[in-house]
Structure 1
Amino acid sequence: MINRKLLSAVCALPLLLTLPAHAALRIFACEPEWGALAQELGGNLVEVSVATSALQDPHQIQAKPSLIARARNADLVVCTGAELEIGWLPVLLQQSGNAKVQNGQPGNFAAADYVRKLDVPGQLDRAQGDVHAAGNPHIQTDPRNIALVATALGARLQQVDPSHAAQYAQAQADFTQRWQQAMARWATQAMPLKGASVASQHKAFVYLYDWLGLKEVAVLEPKPGVEPTASHLQQV
């Protein structure tokens, strides 16, 4: 007679083979650049969902039930910080009820905490428009900032998922090497632009200008977040 334990093990084998080797770390990213970076560093160890698309203004997002549900199930929230998501992220995190991803917890990662901020106001005055107290939050336009954030995010992944720390460390090292090579190539290609004068619709590219040595000579918005009038455009 076949041993019952052996028979049970054989019958259970197909089920075991279909089970995942590990539960993926669930990451909720506020912007697509951080979702892409998290996927690069996490690979098949992570499951990434992104709250916004590249065509959306991250200032103007609503804390919809679908986003709240994603934050509720997240192990790690990765956002820009520096008040970029101030209009919706605090509400979303509060309503998620997820203690792991609240401010100050390892599951809450703000990319802007790891870079040098530009356009930090000397004084706060709402009459100056949509001014961010922590400085300009559009840090992703300088690839040097991406490298800094990648190092910090790699370390955070190791902290929240220590059982796969070695994989995250290797992925971060590989990414940094490839990114540094790409930055050197981009810098060479952009050398003819150094010193060029540029105009912007919104002060969203100051970090890019700082990296490439460009001069911002005009901004179409009279104040941050304020639509330009016809008379202002004529002056510009």
Structure 2
Amino acid sequence: MHTSFNVVSQRVLAIGLLVASGFFPEARALNILTCEPEWKALAQQIAPHSKVYSATSALQDPHHIEARPGLIAKMRKADLVICSGADLEVGWLPLLQMKSANTKVQKGKDGMFYAAEQIDTIGKVKNVNPTMGDVHPEGNPHFHLDPYRLLTVANALAKRMVKIDPDNAQLYKKNISQFDEQWQKNIRKWEQEAQPLKGIQVVAYHTSFEYLFQWLGISMVGDLEPKPGLPPSGKHLSRLLKLAKDKKIDAVVYASYQDKSGAEWLSKKIGVPAIKLPMSINGSDNSQSLAKLYDDLINKLLKAVKRNG
């Protein structure tokens, strides 16, 4: 009896010490599937104890992904799925949802988080027809390259995590508060560093970096795509070459997963740098986190402008 009392006393003392130190045993880790690596990085910032897997990498075009068995298995186990939305994944996400038969991550459920639903997108199109190419009626889905919109998404995601996993609510609230504070400091730093980029003119692929350009005051004066989703043809590149005679072009920009041949041909003809920018995390050697992604984007643009100055 005396031994049993001592064991109970020790347990009560141990629990008291844990509470006093502010440590609470965590509930089971969430299984999180993200459609793009930027959302994996964000989820890991808010829920570092969770198991997070990205369906795509920065070297893949997120429009065109195969709904392979491995992804279906990940979807089946997921407590939370995080995707850009705005029809970016329309070619493969619905198939994953259907084949996984996971009721928690179907459209309209708390376990299905669309980042585009948390912010205002640019470039919405009301009347779409097949002749327009690969357009997004719900707006440009690459808004993770606008730090203000990304911060809005981050706060909404933290609230969603609290809702589906209330046992870890304090952890999510603490982490999003720290992320928010640091991210706002980063924005001020980036805007200061990027001052020389204001007013430069570039040719780039359709909507890939539209949010980044708007934020930094960069003008996109030419589109490498004749229509959204179509690669640059010889005829189209000739038109861009003619455009370069009328407008000062500072650089030709393309994403880490896009064909570089047209961009490099045009850059050589015009005599300006061709810049390969990381579209997401690990799209380059220096973009291993969300903050480093922004650092690298700005640094690469600044180097190109300086080289061309």
Question: For 1:106, which of 106, 110, 114 is the aligned residue?
Answer: 110
Out of 209, 221, 227, the residue aligned to residue 205 of structure 1 is: 209
How far off is 1:201 after superposition?
2.2
Candidates 181, 186, 194, aligned match of 1:182:
186
CA distance in 2, matches of 1:119, 1:166: 37
Give 1:21 deviation, angstroms: 5.3
Alpha-carbon distance between aligned partners in 2 of 1:121 and 1:97, rounded to the nearest angstrom: 32
AA aligned opposite 2:42: L
Report the equivalent of 1:119: 123
Aligned to 2:41: 36
Match of 1:172 in 2: 176
- Matching residue of 2:232: 228
TM-score norm. by structure 2 comes to 0.69
Q: Where has structure 1 moved over 4 Å in runs of 4 or more?
A: none
Counterparts of 2:26 and 2:48, CA distance in 1: 14
The residue number in structure 2 matching 1:52 is 56
2:132 partner letter: Q
SS of the aligned residue for 1:49 comes to strand
Q: What is the aligned partner in structure 1 of residue 89 from structure 2?
A: 85
Match of 1:61 among 52, 58, 65: 65
* Residues 26 and 168, structure 2, Cα contact 8 Å, conserved in 1: no
Q: CA deviation at 1:35?
A: 0.3
Opposite residue 36 of structure 1, the aligned amino acid is: A
3-state SS, counterpart of residue 43 of structure 1: coil
The C-alpha deviation readout for 1:192-229, integer Å capped at 9, x for no partner, is 11111111023211111111111110011001101111
RMSD over aligned CA atoms reads: 2.0
Instruction: Tell me, in whole angstroms, the C-alpha distance in 2 between the residues paired with 1:126 and 1:191.
Output: 40
Cα deviation digits, residues 104-141 of structure 1 (max 9, x gap): 00000001111111111142122010011101111111
2: CA distance between counterparts of 1:163 and 1:21? 7
| Residue 140 in structure 1 maps to residue 123 in structure 2 | no
Q: AA paired with 1:76? A: L
How many residues matched? 223
Match of 2:220 in 1: 216
- In terms of mean alpha carbon deviation, does 201-210 or 126-135 score higher? 201-210
TM-score by length of structure 1 reads 0.90
Alignment of 1:150-169 (within 5 A): 150-169=154-173
Q: Conserved in 1, the CA contact under 8 Å of 2:27 and 2:167?
A: no
Query: C-alpha distance in 2, partners of 1:204/1:210?
Result: 12
Q: CA deviation at 1:97?
A: 0.4
Q: Matches of 2:134 and 2:229 in 1, distance apart?
A: 5
Identity %: 46
